[in-house]
Chains A and B, each alone.
Chain A
Amino acid sequence: MSEHRYILLLVKNNAGVLHKITGLFVKRGINIETINSGECNLKNIIRITVTGIWDEYTTDQLIAQLKKLFDVLFVKELESKNSIIKELAFIKIELNNSEENGCEESKIKELAEKLNGKILEITDKNAIVQFVENPIEISNKISSMRAFKVLEILRTGSIGMNKGMEI
C-alpha cells in the first residue's frame, strides 16, 4: 500500500553523491516528496532523509538499490511509529490593521501562541511565523494560518530520527 515513507541514509560527503542517489529514483520513475541532507556526528558523512509516497515493494527495492551505491554507507526505513519525524515551516502573512480588522498584530501573536508557533518577524505590514511539527500537524497549522492573507509558505520537508538507542 502506498503511504508516506521515510528513508534514512548515511553517505560519504563526495561530490555528486546526491545526484547518484536521486538518479536511482529518477531511473525508476519514482517521485521524491522531500529530501534533506546535512552534517551529522560522523566526520565527512552526510545524513539524508528522503520521503515519498511509496508502496512496500518500491521502498524495499529502493533501499536495496541504495545500499549498492559505493558512496552509501547505511540505509534504513524509518518507521513513523518508532521515530521522531519533524518538519520546519515558515509562513509569511500580510497584516492589515484597519477599523474593520482590528489590530492584526495582536491577533497573529495570539494565534501563533495557540498553535505553538514562533513569531520570527513582525511589523505593522507582515509577520513570519515558524512551526516545527510533524508534517500532518504542519499542514493543519498552515490551514489555520489562512485566516490571514498568506504571502509565502516554506516547508523544509521531513527529517527523522529513530527513537531509543539504535540509529
Chain B
Amino acid sequence: MKINGATIVLETLKRLGVTDIFGYPGGAVIPIYDALYDFEGVKHYLVRHEQGAAHAADGYARTKNKVGVCIATSGPGATNLVTGIMTSYMDSIPILAITGQVSSESLGKDSFQESDICGITAPITKHNYLVKTIQELPRIIREAYSLAKSGRPGPVLVDIPKDIQLQKISIEEFEKNWLYQKKLLDKFKRKYIEKDIEIFRDMILESEKPVFILGGGILSSGATKTVKKLLKRVSAPSVSTLMGMGVVPSNFPGYMGMIGMHGIYTANKAVEESDLVIAIGMRFDDRIVGNKNSFAKNAKIIHLDIDEAEIGKNIIPDFSIIGDAREILNKLLSLDFEKDFSQWKNSIFKRKTEEAHQLNQVSVLNQINTFIDDNTIIVTDVGQHQMFAAQHLKFGKPYNFCSSSGAGTMGYGIPAAIGAQIANPDKKVIAIVGDGGFQMTQQELILLNQYSLPVKVIILNNNALGMVRQWQELFHNKRFSQIDLSINPDFMKLADAYGIESLKISDRSSLSSIEEAIKNNKPMVIEVLVSKDFNVYPIIPPGKDFKDTLKGA
C-alpha cells in the first residue's frame, strides 16, 4: 500500500485533530483536492476568494482557541492569503496556511502561477516551510501545527510543490516519518524566578491605585479564570485592550472597559490616575498608548508577557515577568496575600455608571445588548462600528468577541464570522460590519446559503467610510476626500441574489425587529441606515495623551 503526498497532508491534519478546513482549489493543489474527494474526517469549506479562507481560519481559531487551517493554490492563490495571514500575525492567532507550489523542478523559473510565498510571508509568519521531500512532509505539517499554537501563537505556512503532493511512499514509511519528531526548541521559555513573583506581589501590595490591563494573551493562555480570581482577591479595577475583550464579563466588578484611542473615557482616566499598571498579555500598541511619554505617567508599570521581545519594545516597564500568564498568575495566587482596593475601585467605577449613552449606531448596539447572551459570538469588521461595538457591547464569556485588532483589516468581518460559526455550530454568530468593509468580502455571503450557516450580518450603513471621514473632519479641516459611498449597491437585492433573507431598518421605532430577525435559525442580512456624521467619541488624537481627549458632543 502506498500513500501520496496529498493524502499525507489530509491524513496528518486529521490525526492532529483538524476537522474543518477553508480553501479554494487551483492548479498546484489539485492533487490535494483529488485526495479530498473521498477523504473522510476533514470537512472542506469552499470560500469564494482565498482571503476569505484565511479570515475564516482566523475566526475559527479565535472563537475556538484552536488552530484554524486554510489552503490555497500557488501564485495568486497564495498571495490572496497574505492579508489574512498578516491579520492573524498582528493579533497572535494560530492558523496553519497550506499552499500549493509549482513542481520542484520548475521552482525559480517564473513558471505559471509561481510565487515565492515563503519569501513573501517571511515577515508575517512565525515560521514557514518549503517542503523539499515527501519524507519530511508529515513531520513538517505536524511541526507547523504545533508551532502555530505554542508559546506566543501565530500563523505558520507550509508550501508544498505539486510533485511532492503526487509522489508516493509506503504506508510504513509514512508511519515512521509521522512518528519522527524533532524536538521543538521552546522559543518562549519562562524567564523568571520565584523571587520575581514575590516582587510582583509586593508591588501590588505597596500600591494604592492599581489598574490591571487585560490583553489578548490571557485568552490564548487560557488564563481568564485565574485573572478573575486575582481581580476578586484584591478587588482591583481592570481595563482591557481590544484583544482582551471578554477576558472578564462586561459587568465584572471594577471592569471599566476598553482603553486607548477610542477607549472608554473613565477607563483611560483610571490608567491615567493609577499608581501601578499591571499589563498582562498585551503589547502597548500605539492605539493603546498614544503619547508614550505621558502614558500612565503617575504609575509604575509591570509587564507580563510570554514574548521577551515585547518587553520594553513600546513602553519600558518598571518590572517585567516573561512567561505564560496562567502559570505566573497561578503562582502569584498561591502566595498568601490579602489586599483590598475596593475603595479605589468603587471611586472610579462610580464615574463609569454616570456616563450617558448616545443614540444612532450606539442605539443599534444597545438593542443587540438586550438579547445577546453567553451563547452569542460577535464578529466585527473594521472602522467606526468596531469601536462602537467594543465600547458598548456587553460580553459574558471569553472567546465571544472576534475582531481584527492590530491589523485593522477591512473585510475581515464576514469570512471571520463564517469561521466562527463553523467552529461553534451551537452558538449564535452576529457579524457587525460597515458598508465599506462589507463590500470588500461580500462574495463570501454565498457560504451562508451553501452551508446553511445561520450567521446574522448587520450592516451599519452610513454611506461613508466613517472612520476616515471622522479623521478628515477632526484633523483635516473637513476636507472629505474619497469617503463618500452614497452610491452603494442595494444590499437587500444583493442578499436576495445570494439567496439570503434580508431586513432593512431605517427608523428607530423598528429597531426592535432586529431581535425577531436574529432569533430565527437562518442566515440574514440586516441593513440599518445610520447617520454619516455620527463620530466615535471619545477619541484621543493620534500621538496625544489622555488630557487631549476629545469627548464630542
Q: Does A32 contact B (CB under 8 A)?
A: no
Q: Does A65 contact B (CB under 8 A)?
A: yes
Determine if A27 and B123 form an interchain contact, defined as CB atoms under 8 angstroms apart: yes
Q: Does A82 contact B (CB under 8 A)?
A: no
Q: Does A164 contact B (CB under 8 A)?
A: no
The stretch of A67-75, A103-111, A120-128, A150-158 in contact with B is A67-75
Give Cα A15 to B130, complex, Å: 9
B88 to chain A, nearest CB (A): 16
From known contacts A23-B122, A23-B123, A70-B127, infer whether A60 and B187 are also in contact, taking CB-CB under 8 Å: no
**Chain A window 8-25, contacts with chain B (Cβ cutoff 8 Å), 1 for yes, 0 for no:** 000000011001100110
Give Cα A19 to B119, complex, Å: 8
Chain A at the B interface: SS class:
helix
Determine if A67 and B309 form an interchain contact, defined as CB atoms under 8 angstroms apart: yes
Give Cα A20 to B147, complex, Å: 17
Q: Note all chain A residues with C-beta closer than 8 A to B307.
A: 68
Q: Does A40 contact B (CB under 8 A)?
A: no
Residue of B nearest to A12 (CB): B185
Determine if A69 and B127 form an interchain contact, defined as CB atoms under 8 angstroms apart: yes
Q: Note all chain A residues with C-beta closer than 8 A to B126.
A: 68, 70
Give Cα A115 to B307, complex, Å: 49
Q: Does B90 contact A (CB under 8 A)?
A: no
Q: Does B484 contact A (CB under 8 A)?
A: no
Interface size on A, residues (CB 8 A): 19
From known contacts A70-B147, A73-B185, infer whether A16 and B309 are also in contact, taking CB-CB under 8 Å: no
From known contacts A67-B187, A69-B127, infer whether A20 and B122 are also in contact, taking CB-CB under 8 Å: yes
Give Cα A27 to B86, complex, Å: 14
Determine if B127 and A67 form an interchain contact, defined as CB atoms under 8 angstroms apart: no
Residue of B nearest to A57 (CB): B312
Give Cα A121 to B277, complex, Å: 67
Determine if A60 and B312 form an interchain contact, defined as CB atoms under 8 angstroms apart: yes
Q: Does A101 contact B (CB under 8 A)?
A: no
Residue of B nearest to A20 (CB): B122
Q: Does B308 contact A (CB under 8 A)?
A: yes
Give Cα A124 to B132, complex, Å: 52
Determine if B147 and A68 form an interchain contact, defined as CB atoms under 8 angstroms apart: no
A4 to chain B, nearest CB (A): 22
Determine if B312 and A16 form an interchain contact, defined as CB atoms under 8 angstroms apart: no
Q: Does B118 contact A (CB under 8 A)?
A: yes
Determine if A70 and B187 form an interchain contact, defined as CB atoms under 8 angstroms apart: yes
Q: Does B313 contact A (CB under 8 A)?
A: yes
**Chain B window 287-319, contacts with chain A (Cβ cutoff 8 Å), 1 for yes, 0 for no:** 000000000000000000001110111000000
Give Cα A67 to B312, complex, Å: 15
Q: Note all chain B residues with C-beta closer than 8 A to A15.
A: 130, 132
Q: Note all chain B residues with C-beta closer than 8 A to A20.
A: 122
Most-contacted residue by chain B among A15, A23, A64, A70 (CB, 10 A): A70
A56 to chain B, nearest CB (A): 11
A17 to chain B, nearest CB (A): 10
Determine if A16 and B123 form an interchain contact, defined as CB atoms under 8 angstroms apart: no
Determine if B187 and A68 form an interchain contact, defined as CB atoms under 8 angstroms apart: yes
B280 to chain A, nearest CB (A): 19
Give Cα A16 to B122, complex, Å: 9
A22 to chain B, nearest CB (A): 10
Determine if A64 and B308 form an interchain contact, defined as CB atoms under 8 angstroms apart: yes
Q: Note all chain B residues with C-beta closer than 8 A to A57.
A: 312
Q: Note all chain B residues with C-beta closer than 8 A to A23.
A: 122-123
B292 to chain A, nearest CB (A): 13
Q: Note all chain A residues with C-beta closer than 8 A to B311.
A: 64
Q: Note all chain A residues with C-beta closer than 8 A to B119.
A: 16, 19
For the complex of A and B, the 4 pairs showing the least CB-CB separation, nearest first, are A64-B309, A70-B127, A23-B122, A27-B123
